[in-house]
Structure 1
Amino acid sequence: MPERALPSEQEVLGWIRQRRNWGRWGKDDQIGALNLVTPAKRAAAARLVRSGRSLSLSRPFPKEPGPSNALPAHHFMRTHPRGKGGFAADYYGIYYHGVASTHIDALCHTWDEEAMWNGRDPKKEITFDGARFGSVEHWADGIITRGVMLDVPRHRGVPCVTHERPVHGWELDDILTKRGIRLEPGDAVCVYSGREAWQAQDPEKPYGRPFGPPLQRPGLHVSCLPFLRDHDVRV
């Protein structure tokens, strides 16, 4: 297969400026591409169910400290007597940004030198008590849509993706073609990279950290941006 050219920094900046969804659903929109998940889209997704088997994308509650879990979660549990029986109650505390736990970032989570989602000023919208715009509460009704799993290690015939060979947008298109899959607007695309297999090769190597300079780790290359935008992927 001929070598495919990587995008330049200017190309990437062009994508971010020219192909973003700011204003697409109005200047006050706070749910972004969730607008693509219409009642008809949800109903169509429900009709696809055949076996009823569920596939979890969650990770274990990260209580144990480790190279990729610098801020372990808290979980304390107590029992209380009540009459001849009793009950148990517990407390949870978690810093879920990072790579130790599963989460979805809200639209207010990140920004560049220009602005955050829909052109808002983070200095005005983000406070110690919470976000005034683009917070996750606007997704409180849940995200019910068609999910599409793209298994990159299986496509490559390897145990896992490595940071030396990240996932590119054209590779995701190749997987769709090989599997005969057509993405539709509002789909949730899950890209499997074999993280557990990668971590097993060197358990002490951190997959990520919450603060400091970013680490190189296996996953999606910035070349995936047009793929996600062209297909109107929801998440």
Structure 2
Amino acid sequence: MTKQVEPSSAAEIEGFFETLSNWGRWGNDDRRGTLNLITPEVRLAALASVRHGQAVSLSRDIDPEHPDPVHSGVAAVERRTRPREIEEIMHISPRWEAMGEDIHISPHGGNAHLDGLAHYSWDGKQYNGFSEADSSAEAGSKYLDVSHASEGFITRGVLLDIAGLFGVEHVERGYAILPEDLLAAEKRQGVTVRPGDALLIHTGSADAIVRFGTLYHDENPGPIDGVQTGLHASCLSFLRERDISVMGADGTHDVQPPQLEDFDFARPIHTVSLVSMGLWLIDNMDLTALAAACEKAQQWDFLFTALPWRFVGSTSSPLNCVAVL
């Protein structure tokens, strides 16, 4: 599986910010990006992908005792449960009671979550030219928060099974997925990614980390310094040409370690997708069960649903995405 791949040059990646841009495509004040590609017609067509009625969750449990299942070193989950909330608040003891709780989640980490368009910036600019400086620690994102995705992502989903393409349970860490791999997966599976689709990339790598826990360095370095399977920067043109509405992966999309020593280009998939294309991303999904279901049914498209919180100011949202075959 290992092969020598020339890294994209810094100049090539920087050029993608212009050549792949969706700025102004849906108006100069647009804040929805590629969500605009999920039209009523696209949603109706997606219903034709439901052939068996089988629903598959594409997320892992959010577990306070094990808050960071893919060892990214970022996620945090805290839960405080109040077993007798009425007694605690009102200082009385009625025969009826209620359970209350407080929950704190840091979504940008090991759990499945949506990356909003304000998550990344380039040279101080976010998608469609909005300024990073307009956001603050107190108010969050002023123009590009996840509440603009209030309709949710309800569309046709397509799983490209890269692990299945190579005949392995999980693709080796550090492998850079190329456009030719995406095209080969399409051909093998007899499916074509089309405008408005949710594209899901299965490598099995994150699932292997969860199950075996030994694929990462003992010091648990984190996503930038660690070794992760992901997309080569040359895949960005494929994503733009296919006009997908959202992309999900069982990792963090960008191959790690970075292909270029210049740290400015450590995350080209994230940066160009979110900033230039306005393409929403879903990190750290669990796609292994879906890959098995698709293989068994020999069906690689399905109805895809992801419903983020209407959280004003937030750059992210936890998700439980569901595929219906």
TM-score (norm. length: structure 1): 0.87
**CA–CA separation in structure 1 for the residues paired with 2:94 and 2:32:** 48
Give, in angstroms, the shift of residue 32 of structure 1: 0.2
Structure with the larger strand share: 2
Give, in angstroms, the shift of residue 146 of structure 1: 0.3
Compared CA separation, residues 156 and 198, structure 1 to 2 (3 A): farther
Calculate the aligned-residue CA RMSD, in Å. Answer: 2.5
Look up the match of 1:53.
54
Compared CA separation, residues 41 and 165, structure 1 to 2 (3 A): same
- 1:45-70 per-residue CA deviation (whole Å, 9 max, x = no partner) reads 12321111112121221423664345
Equivalences for 1:12-161 in 2 at 5 Å? Answer: 12-63=13-64, 64=66, 67-80=71-84, 83-98=94-109, 100-113=110-123, 115-161=125-171
Q: Is the 8 A contact 1:149 1:191 kept in 2?
A: yes
Give, in angstroms, the shift of residue 147 of structure 1: 0.5
Give, in angstroms, the shift of residue 27 of structure 1: 0.9
Look up the match of 1:208.
222
Give, in angstroms, the shift of residue 3 of structure 1: 7.4
**CA–CA separation in structure 2 for the residues paired with 1:70 and 1:226:** 29
Give, in angstroms, the shift of residue 125 of structure 1: 3.8
**CA–CA separation in structure 2 for the residues paired with 1:207 and 1:56:** 28
Moved over 6 A (4+): none
> Any idea what SS the aligned residue of 1:97 has?
coil
> Any idea what SS the aligned residue of 2:81 has?
strand
Give, in angstroms, the shift of residue 88 of structure 1: 1.4
**CA–CA separation in structure 2 for the residues paired with 1:227 and 1:197:** 27
Aligned partner of 1:229: which letter? R
TM-score (norm. length: structure 2): 0.65
Higher mean C-alpha displacement, 197-206 vs 223-232: 197-206
Higher mean C-alpha displacement, 49-58 vs 82-91: 82-91
Look up the match of 2:251.
none
Give, in angstroms, the shift of residue 215 of structure 1: 3.3
Aligned partner of 1:182: which letter? T
Matched, 1:222 2:223: no
**CA–CA separation in structure 2 for the residues paired with 1:193 and 1:117:** 28
Aligned partner of 1:89: which letter? G
**CA–CA separation in structure 2 for the residues paired with 1:65 and 1:42:** 34
Aligned partner of 2:183: which letter? D
Compared CA separation, residues 43 and 65, structure 1 to 2 (3 A): closer
For 2:200, which of 190, 203, 211 is the aligned residue?
A: 190
**CA–CA separation in structure 2 for the residues paired with 1:118 and 1:160:** 37
Quick one: percent identity of the two aligned structures? 32
Compared CA separation, residues 145 and 65, structure 1 to 2 (3 A): closer
- 1:90-127 per-residue CA deviation (whole Å, 9 max, x = no partner) reads 221011112x1111111111111151111111102445
Compared CA separation, residues 70 and 44, structure 1 to 2 (3 A): closer
**CA–CA separation in structure 2 for the residues paired with 1:155 and 1:51:** 24
Q: Is the 8 A contact 2:159 2:200 kept in 1?
A: yes
**CA–CA separation in structure 2 for the residues paired with 1:133 and 1:127:** 14
Give, in angstroms, the shift of residue 216 of structure 1: 3.3
Q: Structure 1: which 5+ residue stretches go unaligned? A: none
Q: Is the 8 A contact 2:72 2:221 kept in 1?
A: yes
- 1:59-90 per-residue CA deviation (whole Å, 9 max, x = no partner) reads 22142366434553011212226643422122
- 1:3-45 per-residue CA deviation (whole Å, 9 max, x = no partner) reads 7765332222212222111111111000000111001111111
